[in-house]
A = this chain, B = another copy of it.
Amino acid sequence: MIEAENLALQYARDNAARFLEDLKALCAIPSISSIPAHAGEVHRAAEWVAEALRQAGLEQVRLLPTEGHPVLYGEWLHAGPSQPTILFYGHYDVQPALDLEAWESPPFEPRVRGEDLVGRGASDMKGQTLAEIDAIASWLRGTTSLPLNVKFLVEGEEEIGSRHLRKFIQSHAELLACDAAFNGDAGMVTPELPSITYGLRGGLRVEVTVSGPTHDVHSGTFGGTLHNPAQALIELIAGMHDAHGRVTLPGFYDRVRQLEADERASLALLPMDEKFFLSQSGAPALWGEPEYTPLERTTARPTLEVLSFHAGLAGEGVLNIVPAQAKAALSMRLVPDQEPEASYQSLINYLQTQAPSTVHWEAHRLNNGGRASLLDRHTPLVKALDQALEETWGVHPAYIRIGGGIPVVAQLQEELGIPSILTGFGLPDDHIHGPNEKLHLPTWHKGIEAIIRFLKRASQV
């Protein structure tokens, strides 16, 4: 079996240049799931990945419809019933590439710059998805078989909250049956420190709209006697945090599970200190609840963020108006044991008690929201991944919690009872969701090797 693994590893090394060309080809497709006009490109990316799955040697590869973008399925089940079945997860959709001026090269013309591949989706997560497929290809093309059974689920709506995936999972429970999912969307700490992610924040997005006059009115005629809706919404949002960065929504922290001392000690060992957050963001200073470290604030504490705020005219036209309306999108990041519905209600309660009678307001959820998850660190499959990462990097992997949420993790757990093993080869400075997203290629190639090794070790548990 060691010999087979070596053949697979050799195949990956021999094909490294082709793997990169494949990744560039996939990143060149602007599969932006949030923009309806891009639906054709999203579908093209799905077809492209389906072909890659077939080329890797997977079987039964097909696009399965949802109410939104299709889910890709593929399988290789010839390792026998005594071997575990791992469901590899990926997504072929990407975030929009806004602020084009900030991109140093066009977002959908991926380019190698130094050790990085720069392009939208390179890190999140076309690179990660192809790392999984390339590892399978290395086994099936470098030898003729896999040491365990695998299935693939590659969705096209991760960047819009996996909004049709739960229903898909419900209606394809038998097809997706497996022992665990492998999800490469969780990233790592530094190029030298591979990571296993055991905690995810949940979240909920809410849009709040404040309106006053029925139409935009002249700021000279009405300024000073109407409560400007932009100002009213500004005042409401300003009141949602206290001076120490704590959220003031009534009851917001009621069910928050406190960090235990040993977990705080473990998180404190990670190289994600103040300097790390400062250098990764370029912000002039940090901010937030003073009694928690930056890493704790971003992974184990709930937060409320202004994602967007819009009122009045943007751009070149000059208008002396009091805008009739102002809109903000707010994001709550939730931790165990907060419930999205209760968090939404605490926002509504705040607005009900704090909104002035001088304006109208309304709020609605922008997504369904999801709970946070904390995974068991002590299962055999986690141990297999731990060994594979250590063998590849030569260091013990870090165990981390991350601040984002991955809806599919909660959905697989809740609908099928399947745990997700979370790792990945993206780095904190990959600028995912922002301009100049990149993927560190040496790390990515190591990642392919680590998955090759994981497949063998997972077959031995």
Contacts and interface: CB of A to CB of B under 8 A. Distances in A.
A359 B215 CA distance: 34
A307 interface: yes
Interface in A325-367: 326, 329, 331, 333, 356-360, 366-367
A223 B317 contact: no
A315 to B, nearest CB: 9
Interface in A137-195: 159-161
25 contacts: A96-B313, A96-B319, A98-B313, A160-B318, A215-B282, A215-B435, A215-B436, A219-B305, A219-B307, A221-B403, A221-B404, A223-B303, A223-B331, A224-B305, A225-B287, A225-B288, A226-B277, A231-B238, A231-B241, A231-B306, A287-B356, A306-B312, A309-B312, A310-B312, A312-B329
Contact of A310 (B235, B289, B307, B309): B309
Contacts of A222: 277, 280-281, 298, 403
A218 to B, nearest CB: 5
Given A215-B434, A230-B309, A357-B285, A161 B318 contact: yes
A234 interface: yes
A358 B325 CA distance: 29
Contacts of A277: 222, 225-226
Q: Which of A223, A238, A289, A319 has the largest count of B CB atoms less than 10 A from its CB?
A: A223
A453 interface: no
Interface stretch (A32-40, A42-50, A380-388, A413-421): A32-40
> Copies per complex?
2
A99 interface: yes
A205 B277 CA distance: 36
Contact of A287 (B227, B307, B324): B227
A134 B213 CA distance: 35
Contacts of A220: 201, 203, 298, 333, 402-405
A310 B320 contact: no
A434 B216 contact: yes
Nearest to A367: B318
Contact of A98 (B238, B309, B319, B326): B319
A200 to B, nearest CB: 9
A8 B233 CA distance: 54
Interface in A264-289: 277, 280-289
B234 A287 contact: no
Q: Tell me if A's interface is mostly helix, strand, loop or mixed.
A: loop
A331 B320 contact: yes
Contacts of A311: 306, 308-310
A119 interface: no
Contact of A102 (B215, B285, B287, B360): B215
A278 to B, nearest CB: 9
B358 A309 contact: no
A13 interface: no
Interface residues of A, number: 98
Contact of A309 (B234, B282, B298, B360): B234
Interface of A: 32, 34-36, 95-96, 98-99, 102, 159-161, 201, 203, 205, 212-228, 230-231, 234-235, 237-239, 241, 245, 277, 280-289, 294, 297-298, 301, 303, 305-314, 316-324, 326, 329, 331, 333, 356-360, 366-367, 402-405, 428, 431-436
A374 to B, nearest CB: 16
A310 B99 CA distance: 14
Contacts of A215: 102, 282, 431, 434-436
B238 A433 contact: no
A403 B220 CA distance: 4
A132 to B, nearest CB: 22
A317 B285 contact: no
Contacts of A281: 212-214, 217, 222, 226
Given A284-B358, A307-B321, A309-B312, A234 B226 contact: no
Contact of A218 (B216, B217, B308, B404): B404
Contacts of A238: 231, 234-235, 237-239
Contacts of A201: 220
A367 B318 CA distance: 10
